[in-house]
């Protein structure tokens, strides 16, 4: 059994619910998140549910997600065409638009000029779905197919230079289509379009709030867990802290927490976690000292996925050894978020590609013998932070920048050694402390240092050096599915570079990473 937020939300505010039919898009949950931002409850469902089953859920609106397939390809995922005759407003996005238009008599084909990235949308009809928007706006495209011919019952609303039907509506049915992605941050006014669909087209009132999620999750966890004991792994990040806070609210002293110090934590991280945990929880805390074991298993390993695998396996061993000391434990709680799920190719409703392995997604319950509790599995990072504040956690804990499960091992490129970790830990501490001193910690989403597996020539004093290079990475994002590099002030970058080179022995060069996600990921490994 998996106790997660979806089982809690399924009964919440059923009189105002929007359904997202997932056709395998990596942005399907991002669409749901954008809907929830508008205070409307949203649920992701399978794309192949019958119209009858969808109608039984009594949605006020339906959104068809994007997807990697071509609608005209054999075996391409389809929806029940009867949904278009339910009288429920439908918004198709990218693949979803093509699917809706084809089902209602239009022709979809491969376009001569594919669009991937930013495009300029020219709006021809600024009423209804596109109300309140300028005549021209930036949008994010990602398609190789498009609607080439619309039936007589569709009318165009907007176009780009290569896509004549970038937005359409049906003249008789409440069916709309967008070839671009309004849900991503690269479409700056996409929220206005979704708001128009929800409030002007679907008639929503905005009844859902995160506080409702918190209370219902607590009640559900309490009912599901009963008198059993739950073990929660602490990492020092907001995800595990909020998970622990939810469980503590639900079951109190039935919660036991384990912190595995794998030697891959940030500077002074273990002490900070213990102090914060002691101040805000009264549950049982176990600390496992395992630095030597992790360094030994990582010795000689440079390949990123293999590092993650080894860390994951040893984490299981350490966690299991400590967990067996806790009598009566039945459940294992994890702070898994949706970006972890989808990057691991484990999204429940779509064939997403595996980008990175996350050792906190899958595998643990089977090997540890516990049933899994993942109350944050359907949430994004900013939602988790808001939830943490709702639960009374301190702001400095809630707004702490994310830290990867495998720790500094994925920021120490190449083989991981104690010496390299010491260099990286000091450089990382300087980066974070300087961003805090500049008052930009809350304005940046994640900032850290990366130790590169290259050395370069330098000069210190009158001597030639041949030492390490450090890359500084800082990004801004709302959802961690897409991200832009932070435009930090030059004088701040100069201070970071000067301090790292002068204070961290073994570094003579500092670079700044100006890659966005996509195509890069936030972490280097």
CA distance 42 to 55: 15
CA distance 80 to 128: 26
Catalytic-role residue among 170, 181, 358, 401: 181
From residue 109, alpha-carbon distances to 70, 98, 182, 306 in Å are 8, 9, 22, 41
What is the layout of strands, in order, in the sheet containing 255-261? 2-4, 371-374, 329-333, 229-234, 255-261, 284-289
Helix axes 304-323, 291-298, angle to 10 degrees: 150
Residue 2: strand pairing partners: 372
Active site annotation includes 343 = no
From residue 224, alpha-carbon distances to 34, 213, 261, 279, 333 in Å are 29, 16, 30, 28, 13
Closest among 466, 464, 473 to 507, alpha carbons compared: 466
Report residue 305 as tokens.
């996925």
Q: What are phi and psi for residue 73, nearest 5 degrees?
A: -80, 150
CA distance 28 to 427: 37
Residue with token string 């997932």: 22
Query: What are the E-state strand segments in 220-299?
Result: 229-234, 255-261, 284-289
SS3 of residue 105 by DSSP: coil
Catalytic-role residue among 42, 79, 94, 202: 94
Active site annotation includes 153 = no
CA distance 506 to 431: 16
Residue with token string 């396996």: 313
Catalytic-role residue among 183, 276, 322, 525: 183
∠ CA 522-425-336, nearest 5°, is 45
CA-derived radius of gyration, the chain: 25
Report the run of H or E that residue 3 belongs to, with start and end.
Answer: strand 2-4
Closest among 119, 100, 84, 81 to 177, alpha carbons compared: 100
466 in Cβ contact with 456 (< 8 Å): yes
Active site annotation includes 181 = yes
> What single string gives the DSSP state of each residue in 411-437?
TB-SS--HHHHHHHHHHHHHHHHHHHH
Positions marked active-site = 94, 181, 183
């Amino acid at each position: 059994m998996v106790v997660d937020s979806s089982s809690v939300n399924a009964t919440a505010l059923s009189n105002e619910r929007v359904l997202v039919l997932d056709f395998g898009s990596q942005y399907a949950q991002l669409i749901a998140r954008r809907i929830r931002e508008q205070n409307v409850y949203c649920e992701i469902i399978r794309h192949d549910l019958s119209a009858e089953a969808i109608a039984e859920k009594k949605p006020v609106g339906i959104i068809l997600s994007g997807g990697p397939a071509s609608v005209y390809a054999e075996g391409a995922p389809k929806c029940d065409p009867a949904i278009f005759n339910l009288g429920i407003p439908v918004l198709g996005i990218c693949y979803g638009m093509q699917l809706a238009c084809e089902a209602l008599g239009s022709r979809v084909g491969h376009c001569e000029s594919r669009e991937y990235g930013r495009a300029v949308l020219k709006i021809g009809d600024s009423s209804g779905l596109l109300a309140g928007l300028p005549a021209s706006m930036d949008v994010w495209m990602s398609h190789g197919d498009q609607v080439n011919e619309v039936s007589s019952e569709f009318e165009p609303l907007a176009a780009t230079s290569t896509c004549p039907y970038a937005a359409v509506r049906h003249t008789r049915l409440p069916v709309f289509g967008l070839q671009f992605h309004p849900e991503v941050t690269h479409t700056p006014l996409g929220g206005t379009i979704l708001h128009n669909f929800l409030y002007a087209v679907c008639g929503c009132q905005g009844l859902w709030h995160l506080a409702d999620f918190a209370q219902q999750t607590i009640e559900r966890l309490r009912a599901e867990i009963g008198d059993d004991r739950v073990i929660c792994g602490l990492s020092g990040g907001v995800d595990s802290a909020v998970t622990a806070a939810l469980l503590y609210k639900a079951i109190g002293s039935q919660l036991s927490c384990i912190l595995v110090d794998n030697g891959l934590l940030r500077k002074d991280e273990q002490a900070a976690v213990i102090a914060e945990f002691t101040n805000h929880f009264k549950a049982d805390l176990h600390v496992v000292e395992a630095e030597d074991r992790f360094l030994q298993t990582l010795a000689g390993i440079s390949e990123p996925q293999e590092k993650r695998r080894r860390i994951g396996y040893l984490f299981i061993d350490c966690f299991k050894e400590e967990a067996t000391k806790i009598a009566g434990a039945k459940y294992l709680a994890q702070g898994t978020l949706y970006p972890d799920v989808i990057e691991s190719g484990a999204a429940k409703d779509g064939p997403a590609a595996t980008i990175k392995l996350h050792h906190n997604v899958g595998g643990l319950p089977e090997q540890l013998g516990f049933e899994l509790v993942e109350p944050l599995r359907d949430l994004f990072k900013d939602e988790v932070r808001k939830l943490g504040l709702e639960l009374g956690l301190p702001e400095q804990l809630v707004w702490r920048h994310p830290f990867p499960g495998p720790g500094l091992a994925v920021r120490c490129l190449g083989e991981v050694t104690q010496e390299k970790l010491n260099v990286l830990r000091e450089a990382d501490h300087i980066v974070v402390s300087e961003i805090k001193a500049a008052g930009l910690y809350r304005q940046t989403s994640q900032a850290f240092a990366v130790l590169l597996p290259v050395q370069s020539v330098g000069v210190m004093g009158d001597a030639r050096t041949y030492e390490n290079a450090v890359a500084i990475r800082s990004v801004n994002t709302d959802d961690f599915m897409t991200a832009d590099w932070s435009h930090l002030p030059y004088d701040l970058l100069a201070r970071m570079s000067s301090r790292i080179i002068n204070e961290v022995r073994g570094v003579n060069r500092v670079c700044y990473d100006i890659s966005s996600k996509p195509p890069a990921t936030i972490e280097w490994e």
